[in-house]
Homo-oligomer: A and B are copies of this chain.
Amino acid sequence: MASLDRSLIAGLSIFEGMAAADLDRMVGQARSARIAKDHLIFEQEQDAHSFFLLLDGHVRVVRSTPEGQDVTVRYISPGELLGIAHALGRATYPANAIAAVDCVVLAWPSQLWPTFAANFPSFTANTYKSVGTRLQDAHTRVVEMSTEQVEQRIAHALLKLVKQSGRKTEEGILIDFPISRQDIAEMTGTTLHTVSRLLSAWEGQGLVKSGRQKVTVVEPHRLLLVAEGRVEKG
């Protein structure tokens, strides 16, 4: 294994406020791994042996129901933690984590968590702050599902993805990993058919451009109007 170096992680906001020596100590206990596209990083219900930091790539976190329906909980971007079940008092992973593209992660054994929590207070505080954000996000999503039409939910989902992983191109802002109609449906509690129809309609109005596993938002501002339900349907 190539030796790991604190330069991998210094500068990530989750490590903000940590001394260089402490960063070295953390990196020293990590192993790195590459995960090929479409492979699992961890699996729902399984023993939460490790927690992870995504260094490169994009990860989809999916909860599967007993009936076999999948619901996407969130997408993880580089610099974020995942699989921190132990920090939240759980012994198993609550969902599947799937590499949306080839990924690189750092992994620590879960039993190190208590030591890290005791010795690296800013890391701990930063982690819980991000857990707080996730809790807010989850509640926001419950509110959206309770009060908004499908059209608004899909618009909100695209805007969230754009904010999180948008890359500027000459056509607009591209969501920077492969994402299918089905994936968007699983984020918004609808079907790929409805997503397809709406994207087609929006493409007709010049709001977005999209293709096979690819979505570019051309007019974020007008899409936001749709998301907020402040637009009449043509």
Contacts and interface: CB of A to CB of B under 8 A. Distances in A.
Given A69-B147, A71-B147, A118-B121, A90 B142 contact: no
Interface of A: 63, 65, 67, 69, 71, 73, 85, 87-90, 94-95, 117-118, 121, 125, 128-129, 131-136, 138-139, 141-143, 145-147, 186, 189, 229
Contact of A135 (B67, B129, B134): B134
- Interface pairs A-B: 6 shortest CB-CB: A88-B132, A89-B129, A146-B189, A138-B138, A145-B145, A71-B143
A128 B88 contact: yes
A95 B89 CA distance: 25
Contacts of A142: 71, 73, 138, 141-142, 145, 189
Contacts of A186: 146
Given A118-B121, A121-B118, A65 B143 contact: yes
A139 B73 contact: yes
Contacts of A229: 67
13 contacts: A63-B143, A71-B146, A85-B132, A88-B132, A90-B132, A90-B136, A94-B136, A117-B125, A118-B121, A135-B135, A138-B138, A145-B145, A145-B189
Nearest to A136: B94
Given A88-B131, A89-B132, 13 more contacts: A63-B139, A67-B229, A71-B147, A88-B135, A89-B125, A89-B129, A94-B139, A128-B128, A134-B135, A138-B138, A138-B142, A145-B146, A145-B189
Nearest to A147: B69
A64 to B, nearest CB: 9
Most buried by B among A63, A89, A118, A229: A89
Nearest to A186: B146
Given A145-B146, A189-B146, A89 B138 contact: no
A125 B85 CA distance: 13
